[in-house]
A = this chain, B = another copy of it.
């Protein structure tokens, strides 16, 4: 008899689990159907990219984006929409940036450059000097002050092409951009030129953040990115004539911090309102393009998660919050302020999801989680298999949600196909036409599905 009862219990659990699975499968199917047939992400991005445009922290456009985000979230019938104050850095590119390679009197070739975010300007008449090319900081240090002083240092280590994950290739080269100026300045360089973080050969210089660290103001030198084609040209001209001159003129300027905002919206949980699931991207972008991939895509995908829930009349058990973080690119002030707010209010965040890797075809998610948590998450893989978004890995999730990390909350990042991302990243061609509607929507659907599963199951 006991055996029969046990058997019945097992059957009941199995049937029940099966019923759960089917319910989840059905809900996820519905989320995908709506995202692909009646999605709003693409229209939203069209507005953000084409009606607002690039939105660097501290700019008028960034504030227009804040108001737009507040407005659009306000129209969704959420339980709460509010702005969180945050002070952000203000750096302005100025009206003019220009460079040329000068090989003799009247012999010069223009090359596409842009100031790196945070760089100081050149003197108003520009800066002209010899160039020394290096591939690494080790090479730079080996040259020493004698060979560097009074020159431009040209950092020309390309992103390695044979790494399948292009973000890995990025991480292997980006220190040239972020620390190059500080390193070169200590050896007496007058400026730095950095090969763009781009796997493709083209004419777009890619900007991005740089830091002088603790370098005194008096020692700071201007820093510019050069397009990959420009870098190839400069390098080959240097092999012909290492006495050539590089001319650089930058107009950029740092200002004191200015006020800005995170934009936050939420649906209150019906069963466990104190358990918070947060989804987001960053609302600021660099200024050269309109930031469609970085990170307009993440913004509209995150908003779409809550819109889909509302429009499908799905009532979450837990509180679902969307955060449009301000100032990921050059300060991370929004992400830090949000984590501080959460801590101050003793909020219990159980899951944070970020989309900040472009609006490309989703391949899966990356997680920062304990073994136990990740074991639970891996059981959901099969739900994503029909949608080809079932690559689940452990790894770094997203910059804005990083400050929430406390060993308990699960952090996650959407992982779209990475092959094309650095063709556009931080460059003038990161524009709306580089976005594929379906790919954007598939990302939003995958995010919605993951948030749904966390909401249903908790951790």
Residue positions of A touching B, CB distance < 8 A: 32-33, 36-37, 161-162, 164, 166, 199-200, 361, 363, 386-388, 391, 417, 419-420, 423, 436-439, 442
Contact = CB atoms under 8 A, between A and B. Distances in A.
Contacts of A200: 436-438
A44 to B, nearest CB: 17
Q: Report copies per complex.
A: 2
Contacts of A32: 162, 164
Residue from the set A33, A161, A419 with the largest chain B CB neighbour count within 10 Å: A419
Contacts of A417: 361, 417
A32 B439 CA distance: 26
A387 B419 CA distance: 12
Contacts of A419: 361, 436, 438-439, 442
26 contacts: A32-B162, A32-B164, A33-B162, A36-B161, A37-B161, A37-B162, A161-B438, A164-B386, A164-B387, A164-B442, A166-B438, A199-B438, A200-B437, A361-B361, A361-B417, A361-B419, A388-B391, A417-B417, A419-B436, A419-B438, A419-B439, A419-B442, A420-B436, A420-B438, A420-B439, A423-B436
Given A33-B162, A36-B161, 14 more contacts: A32-B164, A36-B162, A37-B162, A161-B438, A164-B388, A164-B442, A199-B438, A200-B437, A361-B361, A361-B417, A388-B391, A419-B436, A419-B439, A420-B436
Nearest to A364: B388
A244 to B, nearest CB: 28
Contacts of A164: 32, 386-388, 442
A90 B37 CA distance: 40
A93 to B, nearest CB: 28
A436 B419 CA distance: 8
A388 B164 CA distance: 8
A304 B178 CA distance: 38
Contacts of A386: 164
A359 to B, nearest CB: 11
A32 B387 CA distance: 27
Contacts of A361: 361, 417, 419
A436 B442 CA distance: 21
Nearest to A163: B36
Nearest to A423: B436
Nearest to A385: B391
A199 B442 CA distance: 14
Contacts of A363: 388
A386 to B, nearest CB: 7
Contacts of A437: 200
A443 to B, nearest CB: 11
A229 B162 CA distance: 40
A182 to B, nearest CB: 31
Contacts of A438: 161, 166, 199-200, 419-420
A388 B417 CA distance: 9
Residue from the set A33, A200, A438 with the largest chain B CB neighbour count within 10 Å: A438
A304 to B, nearest CB: 15
A162 B386 CA distance: 12
A164 B35 CA distance: 12
A42 B423 CA distance: 16
Contacts of A388: 164, 363, 391
Contacts of A37: 161-162
A442 B418 CA distance: 12
Nearest to A32: B162
A200 B36 CA distance: 12
Residue from the set A32, A199, A361, A387 with the largest chain B CB neighbour count within 10 Å: A361
Top 9 A-B pairs, shortest CB-CB distance = A36-B162, A36-B161, A33-B162, A361-B417, A419-B438, A361-B419, A419-B439, A37-B161, A164-B387
Nearest to A161: B36
Nearest to A389: B164
